[in-house]
């Protein structure tokens, strides 16, 4: 008999009672399959933790039940896909973090003194924020289409686990095809578009409303965007 997924999740998050912890540790010492599954969970939590800086708070509300349904998948091969999806909503998922087995309490560093079991608190609406983190080792073109102000396009070149794309406005969609991410404005709203392209990225191009405004190949940058003294590239949107 193997440990179920919720027990493993609670063990990793330090939520199991002491007697159950001792029983689980005895089982893990004897069962290589469950020990490997625990290692996958720890690795996934580490990945999500490394990506959380790219999910600015506040973010749009999500359905807690949907977040929990997608969390901690049963098949290990889906762990990284789940982690990448979670980063799109984690910072705005405070209402879901107290659910049993959820990884969010430890990752977000929030206490649970006011929430127990599966009770959720409805927060006041906040401005929208959404985004993606893409691999560094693949050439990428980011197309921003139908984008208008008020707001700004902001590009940075700080270190990170991937190329991060974030929108702080509502009504934005992300579509992907081979090597291309298309970010479209579906409704009029205010907010910024932020991209962070680490120097070690293979290559990246940014096209704003059909006009190439920034590219980096082999660490060399060509751009029409104004550069500030701190190395940030910024253009106000018309």
pLDDT in tens, 43-93: 766 666 655 554 544 444 444 444 444 444 444 433 444 444 444 444 333
On whether the CB atoms of residues 57 and 107 are closer than 8 A, the answer is no
In this structure, of 85-94, 133-142, 167-176, the range with the lowest mean pLDDT score is 85-94
More confident call, 155 vs 95: 155
pTM over 0.75: no
The pLDDT confidence band at residue 232, using thresholds 50, 70 and 90, is very high
Tokens of 125: 């609406």
Phi, psi of 46 (to 5 degrees): -65, -40
Residue 19: is its pLDDT beyond 60?
A: yes
Question: Which of 106, 75, 80, 90 shows the shortest CA–CA distance to 11?
Answer: 106
Could you tell me if 101 and 5 are in contact, meaning their C-beta atoms sit under 8 angstroms apart? yes
Check: CB of residue 48 under 8 Å from CB of residue 83: yes
More confident residue, 213 or 123: 213
Pair 121, 115: CB distance under 8 Å = yes
Is the predicted pLDDT of residue 210 greater than 70, yes or no?
Answer: yes
User: What does the pLDDT read at residue 53?
Assistant: 56
| Separation CA 121–CA 119 (nearest Å) | 7
């Amino acid at each position: 008999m193997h440990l179920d997924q919720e027990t493993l999740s609670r063990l990793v998050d330090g939520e199991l009672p002491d007697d159950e912890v001792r029983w689980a540790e005895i089982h893990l010492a004897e069962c290589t399959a469950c020990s490997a599954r625990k290692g996958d969970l720890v690795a996934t939590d580490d990945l999500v933790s490394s990506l959380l800086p790219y999910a600015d708070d506040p973010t749009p509300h999500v359905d807690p039940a949907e977040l929990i349904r997608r969390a901690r998948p049963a098949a290990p091969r889906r762990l990284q896909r789940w982690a990448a999806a979670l980063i799109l909503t984690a910072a705005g998922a405070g209402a879901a973090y107290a659910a049993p087995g959820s990884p969010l309490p430890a990752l977000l560093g929030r206490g649970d003194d006011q929430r127990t079991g599966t009770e959720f608190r409805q927060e006041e609406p906040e401005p929208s924020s959404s985004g993606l983190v893409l691999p560094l080792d693949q050439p990428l073109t980011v197309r921003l289409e139908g984008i208008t102000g008020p707001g700004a396009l902001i590009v940075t070149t700080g270190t990170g686990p991937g190329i991060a794309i974030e929108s702080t406005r509502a009504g934005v969609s992300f579509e992907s095809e081979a090597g291309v991410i298309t970010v479209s404005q579906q409704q009029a709203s205010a907010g910024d578009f932020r991209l962070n392209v680490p120097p070690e990225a293979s290559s990246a191009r940014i096209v704003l409303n059909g006009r190439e405004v920034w590219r980096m190949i082999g660490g060399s940058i060509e751009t029409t965007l104004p550069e500030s003294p701190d190395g940030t590239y910024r253009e106000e949107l018309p």
